[in-house]
Chain A
């Protein structure tokens, strides 16, 4: 499978690339759109918005989700907001500034053309969502409100209380359900995609398993759209939903799709620290808290006084001290490492000394209890519920956790992977965030891809296929993929070992977090590379999956996903090992400035690492896509 490795970035000045491209790509005539079948996998922001938009255009759309309802996708948990270059606040925002902030925030490891397009369509997203009835926060005059967010010096973040992701997802979900009602979308809930079928160099369809009946079946179409989210759960403990997984993307990768930049994992600074070993996931609190909150630790090690007893002089507001210009609003990776630095130095707070304070008392005094409650009430409630402490009285404790993964399947400017006909949207692709994603940009990217990019670019691929019918699901290529899944299911059910799936997943997670987490070294990564295959081997010898295939079997579902994490984790570590620089979410301790900041190596590593799968026990092949910066010239990121 030798595919042209072409990002298809349009010619012309940055501002005109998207317009030029839209003019130059092929279109499908409105009357012909119904002659194309498109399969969308995943119903988060990207999947639901793409499915709805494609169906409105007239394509035949099938939508697959492993949830019981499309509305449950994990986009729903995003709290803080969505960026858009509306400049409603008259504070100097512009499309170019959003573009620049995103490139810089991504530590100069993303494509200029993609990011500029993202900034361009950001304004349309807000309009679209308002028209759908998304109840964004409003000012008293009835106009949309904005808040500021990490990594930016303008207020461009639109929000709906602390539930922005929920409201945007419900908007997209409702558009999807309208598509089911009016545009013939066929919706397959509780259906998990387990393979991509490629025939004659084109994506022919997918193979799925009905989670309630265990039935394995195939679906064919002219194009397949993966919008299946990120792989943060490889670490076991993350802020991702329990069911989030890499399976769809990884199985596509095993069929030849390149996996790009898997080592770019984002650590979110404001999560609630783990309380005990039973912790099943970590809970994030919106970064927006950093707008009004001040992060500090006691100056003294092992200061056991309660926080309100610690006078100002004995507190170290370390973010404000180290980064006077951005203060508490430095990007996520910078904040996370600074917090890790304090905790590692022994100044951590809380019973397990695994956190730092995030204190809103000054803002509460300045703005009043009511304003704080209006802005953060639901976050405070959530914190109190989980930690058992009232944040109006005691400062919250926070610690970083895996939150988002910038890496993903490689896509070109059209969001198509190197497998023709396989499109990848949202967190599942690698495209827009470089090595680090700014807050409130994930929602923006998911919706940009689904509403305003894919609906245009898919036509360029489909137009020449007019008159062809999708491969029959009887084709041996489908049968072979179905058999492979049947075999895997049977194998998992027959091992009858001693360890549960979660126990093995936890082991993998510990290896990844300790060696490939917030800070990485050549040594730690090599260690992880040695340990992961052993865990994988143990999994296939000693995992215990009870029950049957024919009825709902959650352990079996989980086992299939963990099996993929065990293969994928190795790639992530390998990518981190090969990238001998620090950038964004990838921090190699060997490569840092004297102040402990990330030290990039633009000369050797300004490329996208796209890995081609060569078999589970073989080293994957690295393809490099060179990144060119014509507008935003790489500089050392400084938030001082």
Chain B
């Protein structure tokens, strides 16, 4: 807790719509409290802009506790800013210094077309899930939850993968605009669990191919892992690569024998 007020120079990408041209605008932001979150700082900027008769900066946000995955943009060239394992909404101004110059820019990727200012459309992620990111069990008919014991390390690994919040920072940070970390996390969460085995190989092929329809390819820079607000490991990318090759080779009628 500190009561010292900070002064920030903020350079923001402004673009009215997908088709309009965009450019940076710079604002002088005095009176920033170190206890503010980054988005609260933007709220203050927006209030001031509106009082000056200017349109506020559009940015996606919702839960503001780092779990919904709605927020996120580049802050000084890093997805979600300089603090590791932190979504933009959980980044606090105390991490910056008085007088800092911050440049913020939307995620840039073919799979994430720009909507307005800092907002991009991430529905391509939904397309990846739609192609196989689920276990096909209809409501009802599920056996007792304790019927299949799941070893704790397996459950923990699945949970590590499932922690993904779908914010898109992995794509934004990747020099290739690849969505490998998102896709592999969503896929391996299910592929690791006994419940996910029945559709494992189809899921793998379908999710990889739908991912590749919109996004680039992984060349193992590890930028995604560093940008991920949930610190999801690139180990899952390796597991996906392994499963993808296996999926091409497996005799799928023998899937019952590949129980982990």
Contact = CB atoms under 8 A, between A and B. Distances in A.
Contact of B62 (A67, A177, A187, A498): A67
Contact of B67 (A77, A135, A212): A77
Interface residues of B, number: 76
Contacts of B134: 132-133, 174-175, 177-178
Interface string A129-141: 1111101111111
A280 B43 contact: yes
B217 to A, nearest CB: 23
Interface string B58-77: 10111111111110000000
A247 to B, nearest CB: 15
Interface in B18-71: 33, 35-37, 39-40, 43-44, 47, 50-51, 53-56, 58, 60-70
Contacts of B65: 77, 281, 283-284, 382
Contacts of B136: 178, 182
Interface string B138-173: 111011111001111001101100110110000000
B137 A388 contact: no
Contacts of B216: none
Contacts of A544: 50-51
A455 interface: yes
Contacts of B33: 275-276, 278
A163 interface: yes
A137 B158 CA distance: 10
A381 B55 CA distance: 35
B139 A242 contact: no
Given A131-B137, A135-B158, A554 B58 contact: yes
Contacts of A276: 33, 35-36
Contacts of A174: 129, 133-135
Contacts of B40: 278-280
Contact of B37 (A129, A136, A243, A280): A280
A241 B64 contact: yes
A351 interface: yes
A160 B50 CA distance: 42
A72 B163 CA distance: 13
B135 A74 contact: no
A147 interface: no
B131 interface: yes
Residue from B33, B143, B150 whose CB has the most chain A CB atoms within 10 Å: B150
B14 interface: no
Contacts of B37: 280, 386
A500 B51 contact: yes
Contacts of B90: 382, 385-386
Given A68-B122, A69-B126, A500-B50, A243 B62 contact: yes
Contacts of B195: 130-133
B1 interface: yes
Residue among A129, A137, A385, A546 facing the most chain B CB atoms (10 A cut-off): A385
Most A CB contacts (10 A, CB to CB) among B122, B142, B189 go to: B142
Nearest to B60: A68
A167 interface: yes
Contacts of A142: 149-152, 155
Nearest to B191: A133
Interface stretch (A23-31, A48-56, A417-425, A596-604): A48-56
Interface stretch (A120-128, A470-478, A569-577): A120-128
Contact residues on A (Cβ < 8 Å of other chain), bracket: 35 or more
Interface string A156-171: 0000110100110010
A141 B149 contact: yes
A591 to B, nearest CB: 35
A126 B142 CA distance: 9
Given A278-B33, A283-B64, A502 B135 contact: no
A144 B69 CA distance: 28
Given A136-B155, A163-B67, A552-B119, A386 B62 contact: no
Contacts of A498: 51
Contacts of B140: 124, 128, 452
B38 to A, nearest CB: 11
Interface string A175-210: 101101110000101000000000000000000000
Given A133-B195, A554-B56, A275 B152 contact: no
A126 B68 contact: no
Interface string A501-529: 01100000000000000000000000000
Given A69-B125, A161-B159, A281-B64, 8 more contacts: A128-B142, A131-B143, A133-B135, A138-B149, A138-B156, A142-B155, A189-B126, A551-B116
5 contacts: A137-B155, A180-B130, A241-B68, A280-B37, A284-B65
Interface of A: 49, 52-53, 56, 67-72, 74, 76-77, 86, 88, 124, 126-133, 135-144, 160-161, 163, 166-167, 170, 173-175, 177-178, 180-182, 187, 189, 212, 241-243, 275-276, 278-281, 283-284, 351, 381-382, 385-388, 451-452, 455, 498, 500, 502-503, 544, 546-547, 551-552, 554-555
Q: Across chains A and B, which 8 residue pairs bring their CB atoms closest together, nearest first? A: A142-B149, A174-B134, A131-B142, A130-B145, A275-B35, A135-B159, A53-B139, A127-B142
